[in-house]
Amino acid sequence: MQPRPSICSRCLRNLTNAYAYQPQGLHRSYPKYSSTAAATTPAPPIEQTILSAPPLTRYPPTQPPSHRPPEFRKSQLHRQYTSLLRSTPLILLLQHNNLKATELMAIRRELGIALQKLDDQSEPSTFSPSKGIKLQIIQSRIFSAALRIVEYWNPTISQPPTLNPQDPTTQSSMSGIPNTTPSPTDPLVTHSLSRRARNAVISKKYIHPLSPLLSGPLAILTFPTVSPAHLKTALSILSPRAPGFPAPLRRSNPGYHDPVTQAGLQKLLLLGARIEGRVFDTEGVRLVGGIEGGLEGMRGQLVGMLQGFGAGLTGALEGASRSLYLTMEGRKSMLEGEGKDEDDGEMKEGGGG
């Protein structure tokens, strides 16, 4: 038999006094506290009893259900290309053949230097799109799918029905709440990666004019605005051709004639462009880049054409009215001459008689 533990008398006395001490104003009956708390529980507000709970969010607003898993890199590239096509008015399409990373860096460096020189020569108050001009490699098949979505998918054509607030099965009295489910087949899901968008453009795979060019290794040069001056500078670097688009001289830009840069430029081929939603071939791109004075020159040419047309129209109208006036004046003079001759004849006959 084990010996019983011994407790000193001082420790036992302190423990007894601690249990025996109770502050004033408190009761020793703990069940009384529980009954009091249960009796003073507040009632729910009146709004909670007469209104139904709002519908729960069935998926995060930033992550709607899509046809493909959104966490894949292809899905993210599709979203990036779709946003790029919708927000960029000018895109140059280039083909590259085994372009190395060092060569791509050299081309980007020389392109940035040339565009910066153009900005230094322009007025400081004008907007400079040079910082938004970017050269990047793209995945041709994903870019083609994004182009079909942008060109042929309009989610505002048909909208799915919403919840009916008078329907007894509706969980909320709020009107206009979309009845959505966390499924890619839900007709309300109309974003670029939705199944509705995919089914709507799957039959238009080879209809777009850029579709024959979207194959193989491709690169794009994006412009935030349509600037003929910046386009001309970019063409002088990426695809030079005299006399309209000459390459930089070795004295002014020695880095352009570096062997690494030249090796990368020889692997680039200009295919075409997409300008304001329209497709241009290489000659059309050079025509846009060859506009003298950029947008200001284009506006000046347009104003000159309108003024010339107005001046020509005014001259034609004035000439017609002047011709009519001269004809009428000539006829008037002729009639006055005939009347004067008749009067003279009558006077002569009267004098002779």
Instruction: Please state the rounded mean pLDDT for residues 223-245.
Output: 90
Q: What pLDDT is stored for residue 173 in this prediction?
A: 47
Indicate the pLDDT class of residue 306, thresholds 50, 70 and 90.
confident
Query: Mean pLDDT, to the nearest integer, of 170-185?
Result: 57
Q: Which residue has the higher pLDDT, 116 or 341?
A: 116
* Confidence category of residue 166, pLDDT binned at 50, 70, 90: low
Q: Give kind and range of the element (H or E) at residue 92.
A: strand 90-96
- What average pLDDT does range 222-244 have in this prediction? 90
| Per-residue DSSP letter, 33 | H
Give the side-chain half-sphere CA count within 13 A for 213. Answer: 23
Question: Is residue 258 over pLDDT 70?
Answer: yes
Six token digits for residue 90: 């000018």
pLDDT score, position 302: 76
134: β partners = 222
pLDDT at 55 over 60: no
Q: How high is the pLDDT of residue 353? A: 47
Mean pLDDT, all residues of the chain = 77
Q: Which residues contact 27 (CB under 8 A, 6 or more apart)?
A: 33
Instruction: Write the pLDDT tens digit of every residue in 117-128.
Output: 888 887 766 677
Radius of gyration in angstroms for the set of CA atoms belonging to the chain, rounded to a whole number:
42
| Residue 54: per-residue pLDDT | 53
Instruction: Select from 234, 239, 220, 71 the least CA-distant residue to 138.
Output: 220
Phi, psi of 135 (to 5 degrees): -110, 125
Mean pLDDT in residue range 132-142: 93
Helix axes 228-238, 294-352, angle to 10 degrees: 130
For residues 78 and 307, which has the higher predicted lDDT (pLDDT)? 78
Q: What mean pLDDT comes out for the span 158-180?
A: 52
